[in-house]
Amino acid sequence: MKILYFDHISGTPIHPDVKKVMINYINNNYGNPVSQHSLGDAASEALETAREQTAALINAKPQEIVFTSGGTESINHAIKGVAMATHDKGKHIITSNIEHQSVSKSLRMLMRMGYHVTSLPVDNYGLVDPKDVERAITNETVLVTIMHANNEIGTIEPIAEIGKITRARGIIFHTDAIASAGVIPFDVDAMGVDLVSMAANQFYGPSGVGALYIRPKTRILPIIEGGMQENGQRAGTENMVGIVGMGKAAELAKNEMPQRIQHLRQLRQTWIDKVKTIEAIEINGHPTECLPHLVSFSVHYVEGESMILMLDEKGICASTRSACASGSLRASHVLLATGCDYAAAQGTLIFSFGIMNTMEELDRAMEVFKDAVVFLRNMSPLYKKKST
Amino acid sequence: MQYSETVMEHFKNPHNVGTIENPDGVGQVGNPVCGDMMKIMIKVKDDKIDDIKFETFGCGAAIAVSSMVTDMAKGKTLEEAMQITNKSVAEQLGGLPKNKMHCSNLGADALQKAIQDYIDRKEGRVRKRPDEGLEHIDSHEKHCYCPYCDYDQPETAPFCVRCGKPTVEHDHD
């Protein structure tokens, strides 16, 4: 049975060209970029090539890119690093209600240390109002951290507008662009951001490697101390195989982006059209300001985990944020923040498509999905109650 | 996969799904807020559970638990069926993941509610059917309280403000 993979937001497969570059690197180089011999020089060269490729993806300069162990580390670095560097200026941070846990938990830690955090609400589409950001700013505010695209509902936030506000007020602005960087265009200057977190496994690079963009003169300290790697911003010998993979993946993503987006949009729209033929299903997120490859929908009267299990039985991989499927046993904070009710949040699935997916795959997935919904609804006491 | 083979077997092919017309007892636990809701219906004959059906909204564990508990209760005397516990259901399923032991493992609770419903009605204690809402609870020093964690609730709370479980429907004359 061929696996149909619709969970690219959890991690993409590695692109064949990226694999080649990584294997080639493993076969030919094991030098440490700081070493002053030929193998060290070769490693250093590979590192800087990857840095150029990664910088180009978001219209940054190579020296502004710090490689990390992934999106989570980038976010921790941005938030905690700024807090440590600016604690004499103030202890107020602005964020939104729909951030990833890497953001909200980093902030929770700072709150224990005396920081105040303003968490902004979102509308029914999951959009933050830039005016709310402006209103929330105080003399104590040192950082605004709001995600670029939401990883659960796909809504794209008005980052450029928020960037204008933070620039005018001289406040550092971090955006978590993990779900979007490498998928849709991102320009650090047009967005007016100072810090950007990204991860390679969202654009067909390997997992365990990411990057943090740092605008020059941004007040930030490293959170991992040691040697002078990464311009003093991230100590420790680089994950070279991962980094060369990320560089290649970034290059491919930049070059192929228009075609990729077109293909992904088609897949997404086709899936939405198919899903809409079933009664009592709602599409979540913004209708136009959204990621091209992700769709979240709530299937009423059934629970998400049981749907995922049924799909998985037939080789279809998707994801849910229902309480039952999460470690915390709470319904998705993102869906609740958009005003989705508890029961509907429990029946929410996330399909995220990739460049290797085809229209034929959607046909097969739809057959299985329909059967699963009918099977589970027939068993549900909520469904019967509605129909009688 | 986090579930045992037995769990997956019962999840894929659940036994005793459906409803009973004019049931002798109905028990319902959980609510969609927690993500799990179970409704068990029984038909009683000669003090034995003659027929039993369930409807469940919930995760894989909740569905497997419903299937297993109805299997275990079928044909048993009421007294025997009352001995079935959530723990014994989980054991019969070859264990459940730790985080599912509380929220999804409510099958025996639903069964016992259904049996209690049957006994109450037989003994003439007039009561509305559980699916139409239970009586207002005001015995807690005249306060409403959560039937699960005993925490005092505001009158209008649809679910417990502390543990998140449903409070019974408030019913005033």
What single DSSP character describes residue B149?
T
Interatomic CA distance for residues A311 and A319, integer angstroms? 10
**Bigger pLDDT: A168 vs B101:** A168
**Could you tell me the pLDDT band of residue B138, with boundaries at 50, 70 and 90?**
very low
Task: Look at phi and psi of residue A231 and say left if phi exceeds 0, alpha if psi is from -120 to 50, else beta.
Answer: left
pLDDT at A53: 98
Point out the residues of A that are catalytic: 324
Mean pLDDT, residues A11-32: 97
Q: Is the pLDDT of residue A80 over 70?
A: yes
Mean pLDDT, residues A148-162: 97
Q: Do B60 and A309 touch (CB under 8 A)?
A: yes
What percentage of chain A has pLDDT greater than the value 70?
A: 97
Can you list the positions of beta strands (E) in A57-171? 65-68, 92-96, 116-120, 141-145
Interatomic CA distance for residues A256 and A69, integer angstroms? 25
Pairing of strands A316-317, A4-5: parallel
pLDDT at B171: 40
Instruction: Select which of B34, B144, B146, B160 is catalytic.
Output: B34
Residue-wise pLDDT tens digits, A274-317: 999 999 999 999 999 999 999 999 999 999 999 999 999 999 99
What single DSSP character describes residue B131?
G
Mean pLDDT, residues A350-367: 97
Q: Do B34 and A309 touch (CB under 8 A)?
A: no
**Angle, in degrees to the nearest 10, between helices A359-379 and A304-313:** 130
User: In Å, how far from its chain's centre is CA A11?
Assistant: 10
Residue B167 in contact with partner chain A when CB distance is under 8 A = no
Compare CB distances from B32 to A325, A346, A379 and report the shortest one's residue. A346
Interatomic CA distance for residues A306 and A344, integer angstroms? 14
CA distance from start to end of chain A: 39
Min Cα separation A320/chain B (Å): 11
Q: Do A303 and B61 touch (CB under 8 A)?
A: no
DSSP string of A196-254, one letter each residue: EEEEGGGTTS-SS-EEEEE-TT-----SS-SS-TGGGTS-S---HHHHHHHHHHHHHHH
Interatomic CA distance for residues A380 and B63, integer angstroms? 10
Q: Is the pLDDT of residue A366 over 60?
A: yes
User: In Å, how far from its chain's centre is CA A224?
Assistant: 22
pLDDT at B160: 62
Min Cα separation A218/chain B (Å): 43
Interatomic CA distance for residues A152 and A335, integer angstroms? 8
**Could you tell me the pLDDT band of residue B135, with boundaries at 50, 70 and 90?**
very low
**Could you tell me the pLDDT band of residue B143, with boundaries at 50, 70 and 90?**
low
**Bigger pLDDT: A322 vs B42:** B42
Residue B89 in contact with partner chain A when CB distance is under 8 A = no
Interatomic CA distance for residues A76 and A107, integer angstroms? 9
pLDDT at A142: 98
pLDDT at A330: 72
Give alpha helix (H) positions in B4-154.
5-12, 60-73, 78-82, 86-92, 100-103, 107-122
Min Cα separation B32/chain A (Å): 5
Compare CB distances from B55 to A331, A342, A384 and report the shortest one's residue. A384
Compare CB distances from B39 to A304, A331, A381 and report the shortest one's residue. A381
Residue B16 in contact with partner chain A when CB distance is under 8 A = no
Mean pLDDT, residues B73-82: 94
Nearest-by-CA chain A residue for B159: A342
Which amino acid makes up residue A300? Answer: H
Average the pLDDT over each of A145-149, B140-144, B150-154 and give the range with the smallest value: B140-144
Mean pLDDT, residues A138-150: 97
Residue B165 in contact with partner chain A when CB distance is under 8 A = no
Q: Do A303 and B100 touch (CB under 8 A)?
A: no
- Residue pairs between chains A and B whose CB atoms are closer than 8 Å: 72
pLDDT at B137: 42
Interatomic CA distance for residues A271 and A286, integer angstroms? 16
**Residues 342-371, chain A, touching B (beta carbon < 8 A):** 342-343, 346
Residues sharing a CB contact under 8 Å with residue B105, sequence separation 6 or more, in sequence order: B61, B65, B86, B89, B90, B96
Mean pLDDT, residues B90-112: 86
Contact (CB, 8 A) for A58 and A193: no
CB atoms within 10 A of CB A341: 14
Q: Do A342 and B33 touch (CB under 8 A)?
A: yes
Min Cα separation B141/chain A (Å): 31
Q: What angle do CA A138, A142, A148 make, to 5 degrees?
A: 100
